[in-house]
């Protein structure tokens, strides 16, 4: 059973993504003089989001070890994460960052191990994610998290029930 704190953090992260989307849209539509002020707000939101995401993934790391995840759900999350890792690996800014590429390769290796149930793969891959998030948004890990987060949220919602 997922803790109430983890569930709360999940909703906080979703809220931050909505706020960021609104600010990014406002920046696109703003006059040039306003764009810098809006960018500062975006940067502040990203810092706050980063702290909440870091706690979220650290709690996931602690809680996933004690969970029994249905194989079908674990397979869905693991395959979704694997696709996102593969997508992130081809990003030029990521390819130029050796530590991030190494972390992605470790995650990919865990998610691709043959003969291991998806739940085991997922249990091994989740603890590696806080290392990816530590690089913050500068390397477009934000896109990875935006795409991977809904899949993990669906699993958390199923486990919450």
Q: Residues 123-150: pLDDT tens digits?
A: 666 666 654 444 343 434 455 555 665 6
Q: Could you say which DSSP state residue 136 is in?
A: T
SS (HEC) of 95-145:
HCCHHHHHHHHHHHHHHHCCCCCHHHHHHHHHHHHHHHHCCCCCCCHHHHH
Q: 3-state class of 31 per DSSP?
A: coil
Q: Decide: pTM greater than 0.75.
A: no
Residue 44: pLDDT above 80? yes
Torsion of CA 7, 130, 115, 64, to 10 degrees: -30
Residue 114: pLDDT above 50? yes
Q: How high is the mean pLDDT of the chain? A: 76
Give me the pLDDT at residue 29, please: 92
Give me the pLDDT at residue 53, please: 83
Q: Among residues of the chain, what percentage have pLDDT more than 70? A: 71
Which structural domain, as residue segments, surrounds residue 118? 4-160
Residue 50 contacts residue 133 (beta carbons within 8 Å): yes
Domain count, the chain: 1
Indicate the pLDDT class of residue 54, thresholds 50, 70 and 90: confident
Q: Could you tell me which residue, 133 or 70, shows the higher pLDDT?
A: 70
Q: Residues 4-15: pLDDT tens digits?
A: 888 888 889 889
């Amino acid at each position: 059973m997922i803790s109430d704190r983890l569930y709360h953090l999940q909703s906080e992260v979703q809220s931050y993504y909505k706020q960021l989307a609104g600010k990014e849209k406002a920046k696109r539509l703003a006059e040039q003089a306003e764009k810098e002020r809006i960018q500062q707000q975006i940067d502040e939101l990203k810092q706050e989001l980063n702290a909440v995401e870091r706690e979220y993934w650290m709690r996931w790391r602690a809680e996933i070890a004690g969970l029994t995840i249905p194989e079908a759900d674990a397979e869905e999350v693991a395959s979704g994460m694997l696709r996102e890792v593969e997508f992130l690996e081809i990003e030029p800014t990521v390819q130029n960052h050796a530590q991030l590429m190494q972390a992605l390769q470790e995650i990919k290796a865990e998610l691709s191990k043959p003969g291991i149930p998806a739940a085991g793969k997922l249990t091994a891959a989740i603890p590696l994610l806080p290392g990816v998030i530590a690089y913050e948004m500068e390397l477009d890990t934000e896109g990875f998290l935006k795409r991977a987060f809904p899949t993990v949220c669906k699993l958390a919602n199923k486990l919450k029930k």
